[in-house]
Chains A and B, each alone.
Chain A
Amino acid sequence: MSNIVEINGLYKSYENGNIKALNGIDLTIKEGEFVSIIGPSGSGKSTLLNMLGALDLPDKGSIKVAGYDLLSNKKLNEFRSQKIGFVFQLHNLIPNLSVVENIEIPMFTSKMSNSEMRSRALELLDIVDLKDKASLKPSKLSGGERQRVAIARSLANNPSIILADEPTGSLDSKTSTKILKQLIDLHKHEHVTLIVVTHDMDVAKLADRTIEVLDGKLVNAGDDSLLEDKINVE
């Protein structure tokens, strides 16, 4: 399997350098891998995820995701639209649109016709077992159902990678398990690379590999050889 993520010497700081969010990260992730990123609050794990999704850019270093060099590429919205699917801690669904219309939102960037968009959205709702709720407004759904709609939305444009930031953070444990199972099933069946940021070790354990971030540094790459390399370098 080839690398879908290649990060070298990634630095990012905020507030004129006073807050060092990323402090020299090196990381590779293989295509089709399920990777969890753990670490305490403020460790830099969400910043790393934002970098992977081109929502933010580093101060220094190189970052290549799904063949895109994010520092030199100017069409980052095109990259996000075609290669990345985001799942947030809060579902962030648009309240005045129906469930099916919410899933169509990312497809506005594609060249799909209205009927193709509708058919794709219903297909995705079928995958997350919510086809019967297609015409409902998000307010009529439970928290877990809304998150499943958000997962369906993340898959709208057949992304190469799903980036999930605390996807079960606002859910009870029973619903969390169901949501995770759904994400993992999708990762397996759709052959999507899944990268999940979490502080929940039970969630992290389900991944093929767990990466630990502390003070903006990778303290555990989840791969002994990589970690040894890193230690030797330092």
Chain B
Amino acid sequence: MSFLKFIIKNPFRRKNSAILSIVGICIGIIVIVALGGITQGLVSTFEDTIHAGGADFSISGTETGDSAYGTNTISANWTDTIANVSGVDEAYAIYVVLVPIGDDYMNTLIGIDPNGTDLADISLTDGRMFRDNSSEVILGEVYANDNNISVGDNILIKNEEFEVVGIYETGDQNMAGGVFTSISKVGELMDDSDSISNIYVKVKKGVDPQSVADRIDELYGDNITTITSVMEMEQMGTMLNTLEAASWGISLLAIVVGGLGIINTMLMSVFERTREIGVLKAVGWSNKKILTMIVGESLVITIVSAIIGSIIGVVATYALVPMMGLTPVFTAKIFIQAFLIAIIVGIVGGIYPALKAVKLPPTEALRYE
């Protein structure tokens, strides 16, 4: 039998007490994991919807000009102006219009340069990308499924026939129900080639997007703005900070409650095994070895709790959270945090009983009734 096996076996001598400790710590871990999954899920959703696809930020007009269907527009010339701002790597315009598509009286048609689709964060699941200035479209998965349209079919957009050449997926729910074609084709359809809705901007590698956005606001703030996305990012940041603070608050609570529980369990264990600790000293175990044993036993309980708590946390979150319209996302960081907390609780909870055990004089321990 190895020393490790001995340590693993010991905590389960007092099954009820061990189970109670595990349940207590498990609850803390479940909350930490579930909250972590929800927070990450929110981050992911926010990033998909706010972060202008694969772009670092987007630009829109401060005032306009309404287009025919109520979508705000700015002059198409802004695209080149923004592309020339220091720190900007790519700038692509999109033109979003509401037009009759197929059987829908109104739906979203988005025009973009075929080379700029990466910035819109859409990826093809079927077919190919549309060509520039052609009567070709790609459909969002949601739209294609809802209308039972596949690649090769034709659809009518504003009374003009378009060929469906691809299906795309995206995290943005608005885009998933829409249709993409080239921006020049949208301009032609709307008879307005000088207007665009937004500009997707990607900054150069290593450049802080916020500083570029600030520069654009400084230079052209009278006409265009990045404020919308910046504000939303700030709001997201504040919300995520709140969630993160809540997560750490609960973690701290778990450490305190779990720590007290484990101290109680291990103290009981040390008292009950006083004579046994005396025997271990008599057969030559060093204080270090006895300390390692008690702290190790405490760690066994907390690590088992972390494993069970993580599994229950993931299963429960996947079972309950989608009902709130959110997809939880679990990253390694969440589990590292949960296990780190379990280890801290194990060490903190085990060290005091271990020191008690170490300080027991062997003769007294052996006389203990």
Instruction: Report the separation of the CA atoms of residues A117 and B3 in the bound assembly, to the nearest whole angstrom.
Output: 11
Contact B285 A55 (CB under 8 A): no
Q: Whole-angstrom distance from the CB of A129 to the nearest CB of chain B?
A: 22
Collect the chain A residues with CB atoms within 8 Å of residue B217's CB. none
Collect the chain B residues with CB atoms within 8 Å of residue A77's CB. 281, 284-287
Asked if B333 lies at the interface with its beta carbon under 8 angstroms from chain A, I say no
For B14, the closest partner residue in chain A by CB is A96
Majority DSSP secondary structure for residues of A touching B = helix
For A105, the closest partner residue in chain B by CB is B283
Asked if B163 lies at the interface with its beta carbon under 8 angstroms from chain A, I say no
Partner pick for B289 among A80, A108, A118, A157, CB 8 A cutoff = A108
Q: Whole-angstrom distance from the CB of B233 to the nearest CB of chain A?
A: 57
Collect the chain A residues with CB atoms within 8 Å of residue B1's CB. 97, 101, 104, 114, 117-118
Per-residue CB contact flags for chain A residues 89-119 toward chain B (1 = under 8 Å, else 0) read 0101011110001001110110000100110
Given A50-B363, A114-B2, the answer on whether A96 and B281 have CB atoms closer than 8 Å is no
Asked if A153 lies at the interface with its beta carbon under 8 angstroms from chain B, I say yes
Partner pick for A153 among B9, B281, B283, B286, CB 8 A cutoff = B283
Asked if B48 lies at the interface with its beta carbon under 8 angstroms from chain A, I say no
For A100, the closest partner residue in chain B by CB is B1
Asked if A86 lies at the interface with its beta carbon under 8 angstroms from chain B, I say yes
Collect the chain B residues with CB atoms within 8 Å of residue A82's CB. 284
Given A109-B289, A114-B2, A157-B284, the answer on whether A55 and B362 have CB atoms closer than 8 Å is yes
For B287, the closest partner residue in chain A by CB is A77
Given A92-B276, A92-B279, the answer on whether A109 and B286 have CB atoms closer than 8 Å is yes
Collect the chain B residues with CB atoms within 8 Å of residue A105's CB. 6, 280, 283
Q: Whole-angstrom distance from the CB of A113 to the nearest CB of chain B?
A: 9
Collect the chain A residues with CB atoms within 8 Å of residue B286's CB. 77-78, 109
Instruction: Report the separation of the CA atoms of residues A55 and B362 in the bound assembly, to the nearest whole angstrom.
Output: 6
Partner pick for A55 among B6, B13, B282, B289, CB 8 A cutoff = B282
Q: Whole-angstrom distance from the CB of A167 to the nearest CB of chain B?
A: 14
Asked if B10 lies at the interface with its beta carbon under 8 angstroms from chain A, I say yes
Per-residue CB contact flags for chain B residues 251-293 toward chain A (1 = under 8 Å, else 0) read 0000000000000000000000001101111111111010000
Instruction: Report the separation of the CA atoms of residues A9 and B162 in the bound assembly, to the nearest whole angstrom.
Output: 111
Per-residue CB contact flags for chain A residues 123-137 toward chain B (1 = under 8 Å, else 0) read 000000000000000
Asked if B361 lies at the interface with its beta carbon under 8 angstroms from chain A, I say yes
Majority DSSP secondary structure for residues of B touching A = helix
Collect the chain B residues with CB atoms within 8 Å of residue A81's CB. 283-285
Q: Whole-angstrom distance from the CB of A164 to the nearest CB of chain B?
A: 12
Collect the chain A residues with CB atoms within 8 Å of residue B6's CB. 97, 101, 105, 108
For B361, the closest partner residue in chain A by CB is A56
Number of A-B contacts (CB under 8 A): 74
Asked if A53 lies at the interface with its beta carbon under 8 angstroms from chain B, I say yes
Instruction: Report the separation of the CA atoms of residues A80 and B285 in the bound assembly, to the nearest whole angstrom.
Output: 8
Collect the chain A residues with CB atoms within 8 Å of residue B283's CB. 80-81, 86, 105-106, 109, 153, 156
Contact B279 A96 (CB under 8 A): no
Given A80-B282, A114-B1, the answer on whether A92 and B275 have CB atoms closer than 8 Å is yes
For A104, the closest partner residue in chain B by CB is B1
Q: Whole-angstrom distance from the CB of B287 to the nearest CB of chain A?
A: 8
Given A92-B275, A108-B3, A114-B2, the answer on whether A86 and B282 have CB atoms closer than 8 Å is yes
Q: Whole-angstrom distance from the CB of A161 to the nearest CB of chain B?
A: 13
Asked if A68 lies at the interface with its beta carbon under 8 angstroms from chain B, I say no
Asked if B321 lies at the interface with its beta carbon under 8 angstroms from chain A, I say no
Asked if B142 lies at the interface with its beta carbon under 8 angstroms from chain A, I say no
Instruction: Report the separation of the CA atoms of residues A88 and B282 in the bound assembly, to the nearest whole angstrom.
Output: 10
For B367, the closest partner residue in chain A by CB is A46
Collect the chain A residues with CB atoms within 8 Å of residue B280's CB. 105
Interface hits, A49-69 → B, CB 8 Å: 50, 53, 55-56
Contact A53 B10 (CB under 8 A): no
Q: Whole-angstrom distance from the CB of A180 to the nearest CB of chain B?
A: 21
Instruction: Report the separation of the CA atoms of residues A52 and B275 in the bound assembly, to the nearest whole angstrom.
Output: 19
For A46, the closest partner residue in chain B by CB is B363
Contact B363 A95 (CB under 8 A): no
Collect the chain A residues with CB atoms within 8 Å of residue B276's CB. 92, 94
**A residues neighboring B (CB under 8 Å):** 50, 53, 55-56, 77-82, 84, 86, 88, 90, 92, 94-97, 101, 104-106, 108-109, 114, 117-118, 153, 156-157
Give me 13 A-to-B residue pairs in the complex whose CB atoms sit less than 8 angstroms apart, sorted by A's number: A55-B282, A81-B284, A86-B279, A86-B282, A86-B283, A92-B275, A92-B278, A92-B366, A97-B1, A101-B6, A105-B6, A109-B286, A153-B283
**Nearest 9 CB-CB pairs, A to B?**
A81-B284, A106-B283, A80-B284, A55-B362, A92-B279, A77-B286, A96-B13, A86-B282, A101-B1
**B residues neighboring A (CB under 8 Å):** 1-3, 6, 9-10, 12-13, 275-276, 278-287, 289, 361-363, 366
Q: A97-B9, A106-B284 are in contact. List 20 more A-B contacts (CB 8 A).
A: A77-B287, A78-B284, A80-B283, A88-B282, A88-B366, A90-B275, A94-B276, A96-B9, A96-B10, A96-B12, A96-B13, A97-B1, A101-B1, A106-B283, A108-B3, A108-B6, A109-B286, A117-B1, A118-B1, A157-B284
